[in-house]
Amino acid sequence: MLTPPLLAAVAGIAFLSAFAQGVAGFGSALVAMPLLALLIGVRDAAALVALLSLATNVALLLPVRRALPWRLVGTLLAGSAAGIPIGVLFLVGTDPRLARALLGATLVATSAALLVARRAPGGPVGSSSGGSALAVGALAGLIGGAFNANGPVIALFAAGRGWAKRETHAAMQLYFFVSGLAIVALHGAGGITSRQVLLSALFSLPFLGAGSLAGWAVHRRVDEGRYRLLLRLSLLAAGAALLVTAARG
């Protein structure tokens, strides 16, 4: 049942998650999922986070719409088309605890390695092979369909390419928007999205907008070097958060 205290808590979480996405380019689900799961359960939390993330991505995509790397993002999305349905099946009938733990450990190890590296490998947008982008997209789709944690996988892929700040942010928002549409559609088709989830999402929209604007304002003030450092630190924190939530069950 939707009570005023519950709606207030959901609105606050929506603001924080949108702010995180605005600053780092990803992370809304990593902020929102563990908090909402405590309030409304994992299944409803996954459906609500998918809706909130989609709305956040719409807001953040507009300022960068002229710098979208369609070719590379298209390859990532092609891979995700195979992974997302499998991830949704995991949400319906499989405990994602082990997957969260493995993902968290991988993120911690890889982001730590990137932090100590003298410079990120790779080159400009479009330099990575189509095969690697397909594999990353499939993994991100699997994790996104299961528990909305595809952000770190895409962010890690971007960090490893050494893209510019604006290109990284634009690519991630485009990917999350299109993949989010697919996840929301499959949640609806599978009966995961309830009336309570829809009402909660509608109530949270103004708070999402405010959080997105605040996060984008901070993002614009961060220079190139600091942004790359922020991205790697965010990945490290995301991996640690996933390990903690997996340990707690």
For residues 26 and 151, is the Cβ–Cβ distance under 8 A? yes
Smallest CA-to-CA distance from 209 within 14, 9, 34, 7 is with: 14
For residues 48 and 180, is the Cβ–Cβ distance under 8 A? no
Please provide the average confidence, as pLDDT, over all residues in the chain: 83
Confidence of residue 118 (pLDDT cuts 50, 70, 90): very low
**Amino acid 121: pLDDT:** 45
Quick one: average pLDDT of 208-233? 83
Whether the pLDDT of residue 95 is over 80: the answer is no
| Domain coverage including residue 76 | 4-248
Domain count of the chain? 1
Whether the pLDDT of residue 106 is over 60: the answer is yes
**Amino acid 125: pLDDT:** 43
> Bigger pLDDT: 198 or 190?
198
Comparing 6-20, 93-107, 175-189, 208-222, which segment has the lowest mean pLDDT? 93-107
Quick one: average pLDDT of 73-101? 85
For residues 25 and 156, is the Cβ–Cβ distance under 8 A? no
> Bigger pLDDT: 11 or 232?
11
Whether the pLDDT of residue 15 is over 90: the answer is yes
How many angstroms separate the first and last alpha carbons of the chain?
24
Whether the pLDDT of residue 68 is over 80: the answer is no
For residues 101 and 242, is the Cβ–Cβ distance under 8 A? yes
Q: Return the SS3 of 124.
A: coil
Residues contacting 13, CB < 8 A, separation 6+: 31, 32, 35, 36
**Amino acid 249: pLDDT:** 65
Whether the pLDDT of residue 123 is over 60: the answer is no
